[in-house]
């Protein structure tokens, strides 16, 4: 796939892809004899990995470290496992914050929907408006 095709498929910019490759978020991409990026299945898998983890809030530095460890081989399995566990905890903490925000939004939406039916907006005791 060309860089344009990858960008269209994953809705990211060419600058983002080049940046990911330059800093090591994805390993060097396969190139044609003329030096043009030619994304193969393995390259695409790395792009998908990067997009997934970045969307989940994983820091670029952590992704770079993961790629370095992966490229170093099986002797880094323990380190990769620990890094992924750390990333998982970070994502779970972020999810807790989103869950709390969703609960609050659902509550407020429910109060407003009730007010639309009754004509009176009320809140539970202690609830901020």
Per-residue pLDDT reduced to its tens digit, 48-94: 999 999 988 888 999 999 999 999 999 999 999 999 999 999 889 99
37 DSSP β-pair partners:
31
Compute the distance between CA of residue 129 and CA of residue 112 in angstroms, rounded to an integer.
11
For the chain, first and last CA: distance in Å? 52
Residue 92, pLDDT score:
93
On the question of pLDDT at 128 being above 70, the answer is no
Domains of the chain: residue spans and CATH: 3-85 (1.10.1660.10)
Compute the distance between CA of residue 99 and CA of residue 50 in angstroms, rounded to an integer.
24
Residue 60, pLDDT score:
93
On the question of pLDDT at 29 being above 70, the answer is yes
Cα three-residue angle 46-51-54, rounded to 5 degrees: 120
Q: What is the mean predicted confidence (pLDDT) over 27-36?
A: 94
């Amino acid at each position: 796939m060309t860089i344009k095709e990858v960008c269209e498929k994953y809705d990211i910019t060419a600058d983002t892809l080049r940046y990911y490759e330059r800093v090591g978020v994805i390993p060097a991409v396969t190139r044609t004899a003329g030096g043009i990026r030619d994304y193969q299945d393995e390259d695409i898998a790395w792009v998908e990995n990067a997009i997934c983890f970045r969307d989940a809030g994983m820091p670029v530095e952590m992704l770079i470290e993961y790629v370095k460890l992966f490229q170093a081989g099986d002797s880094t399995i323990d380190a990769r496992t620990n890094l992924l566990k750390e990333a998982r905890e970070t994502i779970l903490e972020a999810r807790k914050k989103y869950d709390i925000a969703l609960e609050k939004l659902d509550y407020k939406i429910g109060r407003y929907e009730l007010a639309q039916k009754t004509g009176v907006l009320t809140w539970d005791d202690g609830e901020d408006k």
